[in-house]
């Protein structure tokens, strides 16, 4: 398996522009996570999908951020309009997750990330 695939790997854009980040999870995984990583705040969970349905978007910082998962093999994270403070590395991760209690594993597999720079 190719692992989690993200595109683009690098994105430089001007403030106010729309940015779309893409993710292809590992085939067979039923959970997908979008994270943002900065030096100041570390790794933050933005949104979580299970079976293509958004379960928790409480980490999405503002209405400027939106995410979709139209099918099991594709997800997008969109920022519109982008701002300089959105500059960060955005990671997508997938897992074969089991909701609810129990001692399930739920280890996550991360993509290589998209480094976003908003000027």
Partner 1 sequence: SQQGEEDPQALSIQEGENATMNCSYKTSINNLQWYRQNSGRGLVHLILIRSNEREKHSGRLRVTLDTSKKSSSLLITASRAADTASYFCATRGSNYKLTFGKGTLLTVNP
Binding site for partner 1 (CB under 8 A): 4, 31, 42-43, 45, 48, 50, 55-56, 91, 93, 97, 99-113
Residue pair 108/93 in contact by the 8 Å Cβ criterion:
yes
Tell the smallest beta-carbon distance from residue 24 to partner 1 (Å). Answer: 14
Cβ closest to partner 1, residue 7 vs residue 80: 7
Tell the smallest beta-carbon distance from residue 32 to partner 1 (Å). Answer: 11
Q: List Cβ neighbours of 21 (8 Å cut-off, separation of 6 or more).
A: 6, 7, 8, 11, 76, 77, 78, 90, 92, 114, 116
Tell the smallest beta-carbon distance from residue 23 to partner 1 (Å). Answer: 11
Cβ closest to partner 1, residue 68 vs residue 89: 89
Residue 107 vs residues 31, 87, 98: alpha-carbon distances, Å: 11, 27, 11
């Amino acid at each position: 398996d190719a692992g989690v695939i993200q595109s683009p790997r690098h994105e430089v854009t001007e403030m106010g522009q729309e940015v779309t980040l893409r993710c292809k999870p590992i085939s067979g995984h039923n959970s997908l996570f979008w994270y943002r990583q900065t030096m100041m705040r570390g790794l933050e969970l933005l949104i979580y999908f299970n079976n293509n349905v958004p379960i928790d978007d409480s980490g999405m910082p503002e209405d400027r951020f939106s995410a979709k998962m139209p099918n099991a093999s594709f997800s997008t994270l969109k920022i519109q309009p982008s701002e300089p403070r959105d500059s960060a590395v955005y990671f997508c991760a997938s897992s074969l997750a089991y909701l609810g209690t129990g001692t399930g594993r739920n280890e996550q597999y991360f993509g290589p990330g998209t480094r976003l720079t908003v000027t």
